[in-house]
Structure 1
């Protein structure tokens, strides 16, 4: 856990450089994920997007991740085609036929001349005769398809809670699962190929090949870097869907199975968690401006009180 949550403050770009993508399906949870890894100010996320340092796109497991802008194309080379193939049936169900998709691809450079919210982007595409149903799930699946092709990405918000879509400059990069595996192990290790496959969504055969050459530490697990330092307990209040909670095939080492459903509620929901030295010891929620921690069993408040106050200050 210490490799994911080092002490001290860091920039959005610095955190993105260490982490192989911050889960960003929920923008608020992504900001909390960055805070847990050293970000001091929530507004810094928007500034990093505006500066073009970071972007978001659909990558590991087909979900949205925040990452360094320079790393997007190499990762799209690994995940783009896979994610497009995985969504083909749902696109057909939503009326996103090959003809509709072709018209969208052709019109996009003329339409997306400035950052646009998704609804505005779809409206402009339809003005060019693309024919996308503007309500329901079709707009989301269309933008994910265009992102998988490497044509657009998500950037700074164009209005509160409205991420803007912008063109992705042309470029070619080779995807390298082995390079991604090395970065994954540096952040999540000790971990094994099965963990990497669960986190990334890549087949286990690809994961095993990607791990070839990494230093094994025993029990089929691999690690890089130094062991965690001794000292005070490392306490973090993690947001929903945090990387740490999604990074392993088996969560039993971090989460007592008696409490598993209080964090992983089913249906893909992963709730905010109190984590102490790698163990999930409770959940938390916001009540107005307050952070309310709900520990599992007897966990002294003095252990997490300072962290709760820090989260309240971060969230404003």
Structure 2
């Protein structure tokens, strides 16, 4: 069977749980492998779109999922049970790739090692904010400019070395904890690269090796090895796992948050997003706007405007929306408000 473009979009949306939501945070996160999480509000919305009945606090308090720097050297939310093996796969490569930038920030190898030693004294039994960590380092003679990018790069380096990960937020402030204290167990797949490739295709349905490389940030040669280790079938110009159904029902209209995995999972997004509208979604600087999904295609962008009485979800469609699409988005806005504990209304 050769899937049509509509089939491919439906299969991808189904793999992303956009038509068959889960009921707990870890199930969502594991199903999509990893959720980009440099923005905590956006990560929460990625889970909302793929779940039923959860609230934002449910995401925030769950220790079954955790954040650290993985794919593309970027902060991701993953099942806590997968932190160690994913860190072993990405950490050394990320640490090496960041060496040049660390030197530009005067984070010499000697300074980084001193900082890591001090962090092992500061963090046991604690979850510290960045400010608290900087104060503790300064007391030991490791002084970093809090207004520069040096603290962020040092913490990412410490995470890549397997020392720490993000803990639960302290209000609006992220905290950092020792990885050894945060995780339990040490399961590692027999073939981590093949496991990652399998999870990627499970989450993204039909994709190419180039898509896998763009999503993971791993070299193309390694990505080919990952695909070669799997039982795949050709589909839609790419590949799918042999157990993947190559057709699915269209997903209902969805409100996707910024940096949503539905777009970030593919190098070539033309099937999902009209190239003529691409700059309205990705204006540059690595920003991916919140988007409206209709029949598996990006049909517009949206933003939230809050007042004391209500939140207006303002949708800017690329073309006129059907009555059915509007009705679906009204339901989405209701659920968005429920998830955040706000009164929300749709504005088009």
Judge same fold: TM > 0.5, yes or no. yes
Matches within 5 A, 1:1-316: 1-5=13-17, 6-38=19-51, 40-48=54-62, 52-113=63-124, 114-158=126-170, 160-169=171-180, 173=188, 176-212=192-228, 213-218=230-235, 219-223=237-241, 224-227=243-246, 229-230=248-249, 233-288=251-306, 289-300=311-322, 301-315=326-340, 316=342
In the alignment, the residues of structure 1 paired with residue 213 and residue 165 of structure 2 have an alpha-carbon distance, to the nearest angstrom, of 24
In the alignment, the residues of structure 2 paired with residue 120 and residue 273 of structure 1 have an alpha-carbon distance, to the nearest angstrom, of 36
Q: Give the C-alpha shift of residue 172 in structure 1.
A: 8.4
In the alignment, the residues of structure 1 paired with residue 22 and residue 312 of structure 2 have an alpha-carbon distance, to the nearest angstrom, of 23
In the alignment, the residues of structure 1 paired with residue 21 and residue 69 of structure 2 have an alpha-carbon distance, to the nearest angstrom, of 29
After the TM superposition, which segments of 4 or more aligned residues of structure 1 sit over 4 Å from their partners? 170-175
SS in 2 for 1:291: strand
RMSD value, Cα: 1.8
Q: Retained in 1: the 8 A contact 2:55–2:338?
A: no
In the alignment, the residues of structure 1 paired with residue 328 and residue 28 of structure 2 have an alpha-carbon distance, to the nearest angstrom, of 25
Q: Retained in 2: the 8 A contact 1:111–1:124?
A: yes
TM-score normalised by length of structure 1: 0.93
Q: Give the C-alpha shift of residue 134 in structure 1.
A: 2.6
SS in 1 for 2:180: coil
Q: Give the C-alpha shift of residue 88 in structure 1.
A: 0.9
Change (3 A) 1:313 1:135: same
In the alignment, the residues of structure 1 paired with residue 293 and residue 22 of structure 2 have an alpha-carbon distance, to the nearest angstrom, of 19
Q: Give the C-alpha shift of residue 284 in structure 1.
A: 0.5
Q: Retained in 2: the 8 A contact 1:25–1:65?
A: yes
Q: Which runs of 5+ in 2 are unaligned?
A: 1-12, 343-348
In the alignment, the residues of structure 1 paired with residue 305 and residue 272 of structure 2 have an alpha-carbon distance, to the nearest angstrom, of 26
Aligned length: 311
SS in 1 for 2:176: strand
TM-score normalised by length of structure 2: 0.85
In the alignment, the residues of structure 2 paired with residue 209 and residue 276 of structure 1 have an alpha-carbon distance, to the nearest angstrom, of 35
In the alignment, the residues of structure 2 paired with residue 112 and residue 128 of structure 1 have an alpha-carbon distance, to the nearest angstrom, of 14
SS in 2 for 1:56: strand
In the alignment, the residues of structure 2 paired with residue 118 and residue 216 of structure 1 have an alpha-carbon distance, to the nearest angstrom, of 47
SS in 1 for 2:55: coil
SS in 1 for 2:299: strand
